[in-house]
Amino acid sequence: MNTQQLRDWDNDYVWHPFAPMSEFVEDNAPIIEAAEGFELIDTDGNRYLDGVSSLWCNMHGHRVPEVDAAVREQLDKVAHSTLLGLSSPPSIQLAKELVDRTPVGLNKVFYSDSGATSVEVALKIAYQYHLQKGEKPETRDLFVGMASAYHGDTVGSVSVGGMPVFHGAYERLLFKTLHIPSPVTYRTPDGVSATEYLEHCYRELETTLRENQARIAAFIIEPLVQGAAGMLVHPDGYLCRVRELTAELGILLIADEVAVGFGRTGTMFACEQEDVQPDLMCVAKGITAGYLPVAATLVTDEIYGAFLGHPSDGRTFYHGHTYTGNPLGCAAGLASLELLDRNGVLENVRGNSEYLAGRLSELSNHPHVGHVRQKGIMAGVELVQDKGTKAAFPAEQRIGHRVTREARKLGLVTRPLGDVIVLMPAPGMPREVLAQVCDRTFEAIDAALVR
């Protein structure tokens, strides 16, 4: 089938996520039909470097022989059954591997199918845990999150998120959540220094938790980096302070490692960098190397224990998904974790992090690069109209989208966050390919800003 027929059908029948569809129809976006290594191939044979690792989930490239073989081998056994009343070898084995690799104490794995659902699971578990815990059950009906946070698009994950541009339309559907300011100082209120603003953020954190302690079920945070907010990197020690306060006050800590997990910040999980042990951890995206939709919520034995008892006690966690623990996805996850060890992927990330920092420094004098943020191989380049005043471009100019289109002409697929240009290479990407991603990104930025 030719490209034009597919494009016509795409425009007629497919509603794309996070897309202004009137513009999308006119944009002639590539239709990807194949991939090889770290390149995507469209129906006209054009090749594009996968600059955002297929929305932050690809780990080792595309068509990885070992992962392909694991999925094919599982296909010869069973593609899917269910974890409702049954189990499967891949789901059991992957759960053990996850427990072995995540921070100490996270010993139970509840599967779902996306980052948003893993967060939804965590929220429901946290709420029900307090109702059923120990000698002193409590009704705790508040959650605390960060301003500008993004945790997914289900109603619960939207409620704890903090991005009005995505979620403002649904305000009346959402449950109440407390939000504290993000400790990022590129922009601060008039007359407030960076140091003063950080002190304010720490005070707000402590005040909010102490004043609402009796009602707060959990604090949810993207450790170290708020991804969809524009790659906002928290200062060293902030996550550790969050853990200290939540532990002191009996508030559960949910670490949303959906975007930052599996090596992208330089360690297997971001929490490791501040030696933080959360009560619940959400993982997805890289869990299957970007092959299939699997997610997991890990919890402590204490939390799990609050759900045990005779069925008539009503302590069961009544939650599940049709494809929970899908054997194909779990088989891919097992193969990916084996490759992560065998290929020294974390070492590759650390080397590429240093290289990326050096390349990003080339933008320091660019007149329209206001701020560069990086943690590991997660990076964001914020484009501004005026570097001195930090004034943003008018929204209607859609500068970030213009960079995307220019990058496409250069053979690079990327996706911005507003006017923040994202660099998110796969953890297994070789240095020479990352160099090309940087070259084409920088060239696309310049091309988009030419009037």
Q: Domain residue spans in the chain?
A: 31-60+344-449, 68-342
> Alpha-carbon distance 246 to 151, whole Å?
19
Helix (H, G, I), strand (E, B) or coil at 144: strand
Place of tokens 């301003």: 147
DSSP state of 176: P
φ, ψ of residue 228 to 5 degrees: the values are -65, -15
CATH class name, domain 68-342: alpha beta
Same fold across 31-60+344-449 and 68-342:
no
Structure tokens at 22: 């009137």
Q: Which residues contact 276 (CB under 8 A, 6 or more apart)?
A: 103, 223, 239, 240, 242, 243, 253, 255
Report the candidate in 4, 46, 49 with the shortest Cα–Cα distance to residue 435. Answer: 49
Q: How many CA atoms lie within 13 A of 160 on its CB side?
A: 28
Element of type H or E holding 127: helix 115-132
Which residues of 158-269 form beta strands (DSSP E)?
177-180, 216-221, 225-226, 232-233, 252-256
**pLDDT per residue rounded down to tens, the chain (451 residues):** 899 999 999 999 999 999 999 989 988 999 999 999 999 999 999 999 999 999 999 999 999 999 999 999 999 999 999 999 999 999 999 999 999 999 999 999 999 999 999 999 999 999 999 999 988 899 999 999 999 999 999 999 999 999 988 888 999 999 999 999 999 999 999 999 999 999 999 999 999 999 999 999 999 999 999 999 999 999 999 999 999 999 999 999 999 999 999 999 999 999 999 999 999 999 999 999 999 999 999 999 999 999 999 999 999 999 999 999 999 999 999 999 999 999 999 999 999 999 999 999 999 999 999 999 999 999 999 999 999 999 999 999 999 999 999 999 999 999 999 999 999 999 999 999 999 999 999 999 999 997 6
Write the DSSP string, 327-386: HHHHHHHHHHHHHHHHTTHHHHHHHHHHHHHHHHGGGTT-TTEEEEEEETTEEEEEE-SB
Q: Which residues contact 218 (CB under 8 A, 6 or more apart)?
A: 122, 123, 126, 143, 144, 251, 252, 253, 254, 279, 280
CATH entry 1.10.340.70 includes domain 31-60+344-449: no
> Alpha-carbon distance 56 to 116, whole Å?
14
> Alpha-carbon distance 183 to 185, whole Å?
7
Q: What is the pTM of this model?
A: 0.97
> Alpha-carbon distance 120 to 360, whole Å?
36
> Alpha-carbon distance 62 to 290, whole Å?
9
DSSP state of 393: P
